[in-house]
Amino acid sequence: MRKFIKKITHPFLKYALKVYYHKPRKYCYDSICVQVHPKVFPPHLTFSTKILLDFIQPLDLKDKTFLELGCGSGIIALIAAKKGALVTATDINQTALNYLDKNAKKNNLTVEITYSDLFDSITKHSFDYIIINPPYYPKKPKNIKENAWFCGENFEYFEKLFHQLRNRNNLQNIFMILSEDCDLKKIKSIASKNNFTFHLVESKTVFKEKNYIYLIN
């Protein structure tokens, strides 16, 4: 992500991105298309969303309860719903949730959409699958869009996430995507403090950057 952030701060690229993302842009996967608002995490430019989409594609999700925690565009939630899962999608970005509501209707798919800071407002107690593509750059987010990238100066996102996970039972198959560009050691240490371990289930290199999907036990 650091590489990506360096790239997007290059003046020319910054300008090009600003122009490209001044209006909602379409993103499609397996015949499901969504409109992504400029204030929402763009799945087009980053590879984590696509890697997770490819990861869930072969899973048997029929009638499984599925949570996409921090859903952004919600494309993962919609693909899970298409595969027959009972899907909950959450975020703290209300624009993302409003767009997901419209996109779900357009695609004739049902997703339970909840505004929630991590697990704060999630009332359901058990999920068969939880998918997390977290913000992991250690900086305080300045606005709602930056919550997609920055996890707080002291990794507050992860501190709260693992603390909340520790206090919940019946959560199975928690998958998180991270990259070699983030502070894996720090994130794993926060998990370990809360009695969680990371088990690597997939590693994928895209444009020289290694991405990892972990099962969190």
Ligand X SMILES: C[S@@+](CC[C@H](N)C(=O)[O-])C[C@H]1O[C@@H](n2cnc3c(N)ncnc32)[C@H](O)[C@@H]1O
Which residues in this chain contact ligand X in the complex, by CB under 6 A? 41, 43, 48-49, 52, 68, 70-73, 76, 90-93, 96, 117-118, 133, 135, 147-148, 157
- Least Cβ distance, residue 190 to ligand X (angstroms): 14
Minimal distance, residue 163 CB to ligand X, in Å? 12
Cβ proximity to ligand X, 160 vs 188, nearer residue: 160
Running DSSP on this structure, what letter comes out for residue 98?
H
Q: Which is nearer to ligand X, 11 or 207 (CB)?
A: 207
Q: Which residue is nearest to ligand X (CB)?
A: 70
Specify the residue, 64 or 136, whose C-beta has the smaller distance to ligand X: 136
168's CB contacts (< 8 A; 6+ apart) are 119, 125
Give the whole-angstrom CA distance, residue 110 versus residue 113: 9
Shortest distance, CB of residue 156 to ligand X, whole angstroms? 9
CA 101-104-109 angle, to 5 degrees, is 135
Q: Which C-beta is closer to ligand X: that of 77 or that of 86?
A: 77
Taken as a whole, the chain contains a residue count of 217
| R_g over Cα of the chain | 16
Which is closer to ligand X, CB of 11 or CB of 212? 212
Q: Give me the least distance between CB of 169 and ligand X, in Å please.
A: 21
Give the number of other CB atoms < 10 A from CB of residue 154: 12
Encode burial over 65-82: b for 16+ CB neighbours within 10 A, e otherwise: bbbbbbbbbbbbbbbbbb
What is the CA 24 to chain-centroid distance, rounded?
19
Distance of closest approach, residue 20 Cβ to ligand X, in angstroms: 17
